[in-house]
Chain A
Amino acid sequence: MLDVAGLVAGYGRVTVLGGISMQAGGFGNVGLFGPNGHGKTTLLRAVSGLLKPRGGSIRFDGEDITGLSPRAIVGKGLIHVPQGNTLFPDLTIADCLALGAYSPRARPHEAANQEKVLALFPKLRERWRQRVRTLSGGERQMVSIGTALMSHPKLLVLDEPTLGLAPKIKDELCRSVLDISKSGVPLIVVEQDVEFLLELSKHLYFINHGQMETEIKPGESLAHSDIMAMYFGH
């Protein structure tokens, strides 16, 4: 579904991604992992159009989306939940979810998607009129993911959804992410927690120095020691 080929991207004089390639969405979920500062977030920002790629191509659903605006990409159903769940601090949960359904593609499904989101995160119903800034980290992440689901995703991209959360909340959120996956939306998930990624997907990429250093295809096994070796050198 998503096909990234030879993608080059960076900020100012710095090139972060030096020709990276990956496929996702065609056969289940995809997990990305690797040390911080090596291009995972940059890759996702380029895919969702926040960052204009300098080279390479991105195809989604058979169409070339390289260099399109985020709005156009959202319109095609590729939805990105960025890292850090800052969202809109002074909007209520109701406002955020309404904004999620802003694109014409998502508008007809608004009511149905809202039901789904509230079934997935019942807590949001309790806090319906509360501002995002007053919510806990876990609740904000729920609003972030909920807002993305309101955009009626064909492919959902999550950038470290459990970053900085307490273990109990993290487990809860991981279960919700698995539920989303079961409901038929393929995911691309960036996570430091490889155990969670393995639960989610049999197809992982290890990103290092702006490159796809290792691809683990479904069927290939992966031991904990292998992962350690990837992070700390062979």
Chain B
Amino acid sequence: MNTAADILFGGLFQGSLYAMMAVGLALVWTTIGVFNFSHGVFMMLGAYLAWQFVAWGLPAYVAFPLAVAVMAGAGWLLQATVVRPLIGRANLVLVVVITTLAAGSLIENGALVVWGPRSKQVPPLLEGNIALGGIGVSLHQIAIIVITPIILAALWFFLTRTRLGLALRAVAQNEDASRLVGLNVTMLYALAFGIAAALAALAGIFLGGYRFMTPVMGADPLLKALIVVVFGGISSISGPIFAAYVIGFFEAICSYYFGLYWTPALLFAALILTLMVKPEGLFTSGRSRGLA
């Protein structure tokens, strides 16, 4: 009973965090066709901003949304400075990898200068613990498990049921045709980056209320998000969401039976097997955005 509860709970919790991160990566990839390697740094910065706002005396319910909003702006700023000017270059994907890595390094070291290396923690969403299925669980984690699907559903609704969401998907598929129906491609690129950064910041606040924060806290979630989008395929939003939970459960099961050290190795082995069988990812319908 305890085993099942442990795995179920661990899988849902990790899956939620991975989904929040991976969806942003996938959104930027499908819209602009680049990978944002500063996505993990966005997560870190979101968490630190939330901490800073709380330290200035703002209540959490103001500080958290404010941090998310500021990060949406930061996402817009990043794409305007290190992505947008490069659109049209022959080796765009590669150049953006390096510019986003460099921008990430800039922000990461900036955070180190501003906040120092000492670990910090943001207040949890909910205080306290409860016993569920024989194991002790913090309410903060329960809150994350509940809130994440709601946010992802809202994002899905936005992308599929609103005209602006429709426009975002259209830009992903055909930029010229999008211009010819009068879409503002520049604004839509900025929007995709803004949403992605906001989601990353939220993931950072979730994680920062659970573990201690450091300026390098985004590196591992970024790696996991990359693995998730490979599993899930990068051409849709639902694929990575499913894959995030699958990987969350995979990790929960592996670390329960094989221990924490072997989990990354097993995960990578599973990843390679998946790609050898289905090079386009597990949950794809066949379409993929070609690499420039």
| Chain A positions near chain B (C-beta within 8 angstroms) | 48-50, 69-71, 74-75, 79-82, 86-91, 95, 98-100, 102-103, 106, 133, 147-148, 151
Contacts and interface: CB of A to CB of B under 8 A. Distances in A.
A113 B254 CA distance: 57
Contacts of A99: 163, 166-167, 170, 178, 181, 183
Contacts, number: 69
Contacts of A87: 174, 177
Interface residues of B, number: 17
B180 interface: yes
Would you call the interface of chain B mostly helix, strand, loop, or mixed? helix
Contacts of B89: none
Most buried by A among B174, B177, B287: B177
A81 B179 CA distance: 11
Contacts of A95: 166, 169-170
Interface of B: 163, 166-167, 169-170, 173-174, 176-184, 287
Contacts of B182: 70-71, 74-75, 102-103, 106, 151
Given A89-B287, A95-B166, A98-B166, 18 more contacts: A70-B182, A71-B179, A71-B183, A71-B184, A82-B177, A86-B177, A87-B177, A88-B173, A88-B174, A89-B173, A90-B169, A91-B170, A91-B173, A99-B167, A99-B170, A103-B181, A103-B182, A151-B181
Nearest to A104: B182
B163 to A, nearest CB: 6
B173 A90 contact: yes
A197 B44 CA distance: 61
A100 B176 contact: no
A233 to B, nearest CB: 34
9 contacts: A74-B182, A87-B174, A88-B173, A88-B177, A88-B178, A91-B169, A95-B169, A99-B166, A103-B181
B171 to A, nearest CB: 9
A91 B173 CA distance: 9
B247 to A, nearest CB: 25
A88 to B, nearest CB: 4
B176 A50 contact: yes
Given A90-B169, A91-B166, A48 B174 contact: no
B181 A74 contact: yes
Contacts of A151: 181-182
A33 B179 CA distance: 25
Lowest 5 CB-CB distances: which A-B pairs, in order? A74-B182, A103-B182, A70-B179, A88-B173, A71-B182
B163 A102 contact: yes
Nearest to A144: B177
A148 B167 CA distance: 15
Contacts of A86: 174, 177
A98 B163 contact: yes
A87 B174 CA distance: 7
Contacts of A89: 173-174, 287
B118 to A, nearest CB: 48
Contacts of B180: 48, 50, 70, 74, 79-82, 148
A151 B176 CA distance: 16
Most buried by B among A50, A102, A147: A102
